[in-house]
Chain A
Amino acid sequence: DVKVTQSSRYLVKRTGEKVFLECVQDMDHENMFWYRQDPGLGLRLIYFSYDVKMKEKGDIPEGYSVSREKKERFSLILESASTNQTSMYLCASRAGSSSYEQYFGPGTRLTVT
């Protein structure tokens, strides 16, 4: 079974802090995604990576950056956390562009105070 893990289930940070959210997948998948989940809005794509060191902006990249130095790991970075970034963050991976099934991690609930 594909396993996608996220470094923290719950995280509390202060406004202005730099925040790192880590995601690791164990199936040698090429594509990885970061989504933000808010009530009533569903999932919105922040960034995705189609290969190591390759990334593309999603629908809501402002205030976020990403890093993918190794195939199995995709990090989401909040350079200066703000209260409007309080949300659930979901990571997903997918084998490649010809495979449409995404496998999701359990999520990180981030609270910025």
Chain B
Amino acid sequence: AQSVTQPDIHITVSEGASLELRCNYSYGATPYLFWYVQSPGQGLQLLLKYFSGDTLVQGIKGFEAEFKRSQSSFNLRKPSVHWSDAAEYFCAVGPRWGQNFVFGPGTRLSVLP
């Protein structure tokens, strides 16, 4: 069965510190991988996606993620967090062909001034 786990429910970092949000997936074939961000009271916004090729992908707002096939992981990173990054982050996996996507439970990020 397809599944996405995000082991950290809530993470708190200080502004300016580095960030890594973890995502592990279980999937029967090579998936498409996504990270979305949801600010309070807003819908989800796509941060970045991985389809193929270079396993380190760059996204918006200074985020990047690395696909590691051997670990079935797609962790999100940012070298220096800003207060405006406080939000909920969702990892998602989807098939190469088809409509259904599976979202992880989300990680809530708090940023201390």
Partner-B contacts on A (CB < 8 A): 4, 9, 31, 35, 40-45, 48, 50, 56, 58-59, 90, 92, 97, 100-102, 104-107
Contact = CB atoms under 8 A, between A and B. Distances in A.
B35 interface: no
Contacts, number: 55
Interface residues of B, number: 25
B99 A48 contact: yes
Interface in B68-113: 90, 92, 94, 97-101, 103-106
A45 B49 contact: no
Given A4-B43, A42-B103, A48-B99, 17 more contacts: A40-B105, A42-B4, A42-B90, A42-B104, A42-B105, A43-B44, A45-B101, A48-B100, A50-B99, A58-B100, A97-B99, A100-B32, A105-B43, A106-B43, A107-B41, A107-B42, A107-B43
Nearest to A48: B99
Interface of B: 4, 9, 32, 34, 36, 41-46, 49, 51, 90, 92, 94, 97-101, 103-106
B80 to A, nearest CB: 26
A79 B43 CA distance: 25
A100 B106 contact: no
The 7 closest A-B pairs by CB, nearest first: A104-B43, A42-B103, A43-B103, A104-B44, A42-B105, A106-B43, A105-B43
A105 B41 CA distance: 11
Contacts of A97: 97-99
Contacts of B92: 43
Contact of B44 (A40, A50, A58, A90): A90
Contacts of A41: 105
Contact of B46 (A42, A59, A101, A106): A101
